[in-house]
Copies of this chain bind each other. A is one copy, B any other.
Amino acid sequence: MDARIESDDRGRKVAVEACAEPCAIERGMRVLGGKWTGSILWHLKDEPVRFNDLTRMVGGASKKMISERLRHLETHGLIDRRVLDTRPLGVAYQITPKGQTALRFLDELRRWSEEELGLTDDEPAEDEPT
């Protein structure tokens, strides 16, 4: 992450300590950057939530997405899945201690979005509608 550009003996430029393929920022993004991933984790911050409740909370995401993201988060050890023996059967997802550590930064992101991006910041005012 401390890449510099230097010149070799013949004046050609070379990168020193270039940020190779998966630097920390990229790796983190691959874990938490997928669509809905952060939101889902965020919704689990206070208490275990059941599958269908999650789909209701994250309006807009399909069940497929929810279950894909949940498995992804589980694989990374950020949440954990518990089968309940309730009457119509049930599954609750809850955040793990490791998952908790991500909340700090998700909260930073949330705060940043709210302060620096307005509420209306999909793609900022583009001219020329062609």
Contact = CB atoms under 8 A, between A and B. Distances in A.
Interface string A80-101: 0000000000000000001001
Nearest to A110: B24
Contacts of A25: 38-39, 42, 106, 109-110, 113
Contacts of A19: 39, 43, 57-59
A39 B101 CA distance: 21
A118 to B, nearest CB: 9
Size category, A interface: 35 or more
Interface in A1-55: 1, 3, 5, 13-15, 18-33, 35-36, 38-39, 42-43, 52-53
Number of identical protomers = 2
A124 interface: yes
A57 B5 contact: yes
A29 B114 CA distance: 12
Given A59-B20, A124-B77, A38 B29 contact: yes
The 4 residue pairs across chains A and B that have the minimum distance between CB atoms:
A28-B113, A15-B56, A105-B108, A3-B57
Interface of A: 1, 3, 5, 13-15, 18-33, 35-36, 38-39, 42-43, 52-53, 56-60, 75-77, 98, 101-102, 104-106, 108-110, 112-117, 121-124, 126
